[in-house]
Structure 1
Amino acid sequence: MGGMSGGEALRRAVAAALADAIGAEVTAVFDAPPLRSAMPYALVEEAQLSDWSTKDMAGRDGRVSVVIHDAGERPERLRGLAERAEAAIGALPSALGEGWRIAALTLTRSRIVRQGERHWSALIEFRVGMLRSN
């Protein structure tokens, strides 16, 4: 089976959902850590996936995380960005492309952490189960 991996299909879908939901409010949505970027920005981290195949379908099970970075004395703007990002990921369409589809998607954690003076980050993590039909 050639084509897009499950992790790549998932990362693209999450990045597209974030771009639609908060793209106008962040400087960028990245799929790899930027060398530098003005805040706020969102980062779709590399998914942690393991085999979840059946007899007749390829499958992946794991976690996909998004981190949104923002600056400010308080995280009010970040809270709003995180809420919209969480809702957008939770509403991903089941079809991801190239035969991959989401079979299960569950929020596992969402939290805001102070990273330093005037730097906050929101971590949003989902557990995902994906199957690929031939």
Structure 2
Amino acid sequence: MRAGVLARLRMVGGINGVWEGAGVSAAAPFVVLGDVAASDWGTKDAVGRELRVAVTVRDRGDSPARVETLAGEVEAAVAALPRELDGWRVASVVLLRSSVVASGKGAWAAMVDHRVRVLAG
């Protein structure tokens, strides 16, 4: 699933890279794929997972305008995940949260979190 999300995020234009985890020292704007937490979402006859996918867009500038635009593109990229991914069938993708915060002088962060429900198949 991470590979599928990473592939979609790398299609977002106007960023200087997509990274996994924290500690990135890339030039802004860039995207970080954070935790992908999984819990059971199976049925009697099918293995399933509910995934929480956390993505952060980091930028620098006088206003949050660019990071807001990029956050919208990240949201659309995750929502457009292929319905078949490496042995899993995507049942639904739902935006849980999208927020923009100042993270220092001239620094902005947009958090975009999705719930992705998948069934083995």
Does TM, normalized by the shorter one, top 0.5? yes
Structure 2 residue ranges without an equivalent (≥5): none
Among 62, 70, 74, the alignment partner of 1:85 is 74
Q: Which has the higher helix share?
A: 1
TM-score (structure 2 length as normaliser): 0.92
Q: Which has the higher strand share?
A: 2
- Deviation of 1:40 (Å): 0.9
CA contact (8 A) 1:95 1:101 kept: yes
Work out the CA distance in 1 between the residues paired with 2:67 and 2:12. Answer: 13
Matching of residues 104-123 of structure 1 within 5 Å: 104-123=92-111
Work out the CA distance in 2 between the residues paired with 1:34 and 1:42. Answer: 12
Identity %: 37
Report the counterpart of residue 120 of structure 2 in structure 1: 132
Among 68, 71, 75, the alignment partner of 2:64 is 75
Aligned with 1:116: secondary structure?
A: coil
Work out the CA distance in 2 between the residues paired with 1:109 and 1:35. Answer: 23
Residue correspondences, number: 121
Q: Which runs of 4+ in 1 moved over 3 A?
A: none
Question: What RMSD in Å do the two structures reach over aligned CA positions?
Answer: 1.3
